[in-house]
Amino acid sequence: MEAKSEHRKHFSGESSQSSNNQLLYPNFLDQASEQEESAEYRKGGYHPVHIGDQYHGRYYVIRKLGFGSYSTVWLCWDQKDKHFVALKILKSASIYTNIAYEEIKILRIINGADPRDPNRYRTVRLLNDFKITGVNGQHIGLVFEVTGCNLSKLLLQSNGRGLPLANVRTIVKQVLEGLEYLHSKCKIVHGDLKPENLLICVKEDYNTKLASEVAKIYRFGIKLPASMVANAPLRRMSSLKIKRANKRRISSFKWQLKLIMDTIEDNKKAAPSVMNTSNSPSPSTSWSSDEKPELNPAFVNSEMEVKIADLGLACRIGGPLYETIQTRPYRSLEVLLGAEYDTSADIWSTACLTFELATGHDLFALECGETYPDENHLAQIIELLGDIPKKIVQSGTKSHLLFNKQNKLCHIEQLHPSSLEDKLRKKYDWSVRDAQEFAAFLLPMLQFDVNKRATASECLKHQWLKLNKSL
C-alpha cells in the first residue's frame, strides 16, 4: 500500500471486511460454514487450491480451514519442521498484495521487538511468507501457527447473553498483555480490535484430529465436504479425465497423509512435549481435541488462551497513518472526530469489546443505513459518558460537520443520558456490585482525552481483572 503522504489511503475495518478467516471450530463450535464465492476465483481473486498441493517446497495442503473477504486459509503439514500450520493465500489484486506487504512488515516487527517478552505470543505469529504464481495472478502466501475460531463465534453460542465474567476477565487480561507489548515494545496501533480478530488457541492434537477426519473420509471413499475444499469452478475436462486425475490425486494424498500420521505418532512417542507448538505463555490451557462439550466457555468458567490477529490496519506511531481505522462499533472518539490518534485508540476499542463479551451486545448500538452515522455514534457516547469538552471537539478535522458553534450536535437534539452503571443494572439486570466494579474498570478506558485515557499497563493493574483469584 502506498504510504508516502502523512495519511495512508482510507481503509477502515468497516468498509472492508476483516481479513480474519473463519478458522478452526473447537468441539463446542463444530458446524458447517459458508463458502467463499465461486465467482471470486478469477483474475485478481482467489487462488484455486487443491487438497494435496504443495507450496514453497514444504507446505502440504490437507484441508480448508476457512476464508475471508480477501483470502482463503488452509491446514497444511510443514514437511520441513514436521508440524501443522495455517496457510493464508490472499487474492492477487494489487490492493490485497499491498495490504499483505504492510501486514508482513508489522508482523516482523512484532516477532523481533523483544524475543524474551512472553507477551509477544499474545499476537499471532507469522512463520513464513512467499509468492504464489497461479492462473489468477500472483498471490501472497502467509504461514501462521494454527489457531481456533474467533470470539465472535463464541459470542453467538451465548445466545445474546455474553460470556461468564470470569472468562471475560481471562480474555481481556490476555488482550491487554498483547496490547502492552504492541504499544510499549513495538509502538504499534492495532487499529481494528474486535471479537472477530481475537482467536482461540488450539493444541496440536486438535490439528491432528482435523487431518484424521480427512483420512477417514478418504478411507471410506466419501467425497470431501464442501467446507474442506476450494469452492472454485470445475476445470473443463472430460468426465473420464477428471476421474483419472482425481484417482491419482487421492491415491497420492492417502499415501502422504499416512506418512504424516506416522510422523505424528513417532513424535508423540519420542517427545510428547514437541506436539504442542502454540507458543502460548500457558500452553496447557489451550483447546484440545478431547475437550468435553460441557466445557463450552460461552456458558461455564474455563481457562482459555486467545491471540490478537489481523494486523491489516496496524500502523506504527511516528509513521504514516490511515485516515480512518477501526470497525464502526469499536471506533474511538478521536477517530470519529478526525483528530490525531495513537495507541490509546486501541484501549477505547478494548473497552467496547469487553462490554460486548460481558453482555452480548455492542456498547454503542449502531445500525446500517443511518442518515447521520457519525452523529448518532457521538450522541450515544455523550449519553453514556457526558458532554465532550469543546477543546477536544475542535481538535478534529470533521468537527465542523458534526457540531455547531454551541458545541451541540448538528442534527440530533434529543439525548437520553444514562450512566454505564445504570445501563448495566437496568438493561442487563446486573447486581449493583458487579455493575460498579465493571464500570470502574471500563470508564478510564473511555476517557475523552487520550492523554488521560488508561494505558494497557495501567489497565492490567486494575482490581477488576484480579477478581477471578477470589472466586
Walking along the chain (471 residues) 10 residues at a time, the average pLDDT comes out as 36 38 37 77 97 95 92 96 96 95 96 96 97 98 95 92 96 99 98 97 89 83 86 66 58 76 76 49 41 67 91 93 94 98 99 98 88 95 98 97 97 96 97 98 99 99 86 49
Q: Which of 234, 250, 281 is the last residue of a domain?
A: 281
In this structure, the answer to whether residues 232 and 262 fall within a common structural domain is yes
In this structure, the answer to whether residues 416 and 311 fall within a common structural domain is yes
The pLDDT of residue 249 is: 63
Question: Which residues are bridge partners to 188 per DSSP?
Answer: 316
What is the number of domains present in the chain? 2
Q: Which of 281, 305, 333 is the last residue of a domain?
A: 281
In this structure, the answer to whether residues 257 and 328 fall within a common structural domain is no
Q: What is the rounded distance in angstroms from the CA atom of residue 404 to the CA atom of residue 23?
A: 46
Closest-CA residue to 391 (of 444, 339, 446): 339
In this structure, the answer to whether residues 75 and 177 fall within a common structural domain is no
The phi and psi torsions of 360 (rounded to 5 degrees) equal 85, 5
Domain assignment present for residue 289? The answer is no
Element (H, E) at 170: helix 165-180
The pLDDT of residue 5 is: 32
Binding residues for ATP: 88
CA quadruple 243, 246, 248, 251: dihedral, nearest 10: -120
The pLDDT of residue 290 is: 45
Domain assignment present for residue 2? The answer is no
In this structure, the answer to whether residues 271 and 399 fall within a common structural domain is no
This prediction has a pTM of 0.85
Contacts of 340 (CB under 8 A, 6+ apart): 334, 395
Active site residue 422: no
Domain assignment present for residue 459? The answer is yes
Q: Are 348 and 417 in contact (CB under 8 A)?
A: no
Q: Which of 281, 315, 343 is the last residue of a domain?
A: 281
CATH assignment of the domain containing 450:
1.10.510.10
How many alpha carbons lie under 13 Å from residue 360 in its C-beta half-sphere? 15
In this structure, the answer to whether residues 235 and 301 fall within a common structural domain is no
Residues 53, 78, 129, 192: which is the catalytic one? 192
In this structure, the answer to whether residues 270 and 318 fall within a common structural domain is no
In this structure, the answer to whether residues 193 and 338 fall within a common structural domain is yes
In this structure, the answer to whether residues 189 and 333 fall within a common structural domain is yes
Domain assignment present for residue 212? The answer is yes
Q: What is the rounded distance in angstroms from the CA atom of residue 88 to the CA atom of residue 86?
A: 6
In this structure, the answer to whether residues 321 and 420 fall within a common structural domain is yes
Buried b (16+ CB within 10 A) or exposed e, 114-133: eeeeebbbbbbbbbbbeebe
Domain assignment present for residue 316? The answer is yes
Domain assignment present for residue 257? The answer is yes
CATH assignment of the domain containing 268:
3.30.200.20
Domain assignment present for residue 13? The answer is no
**Structural domain of 236:** 19-149+205-281
In this structure, the answer to whether residues 410 and 315 fall within a common structural domain is yes
In this structure, the answer to whether residues 233 and 302 fall within a common structural domain is no
The pLDDT of residue 247 is: 61
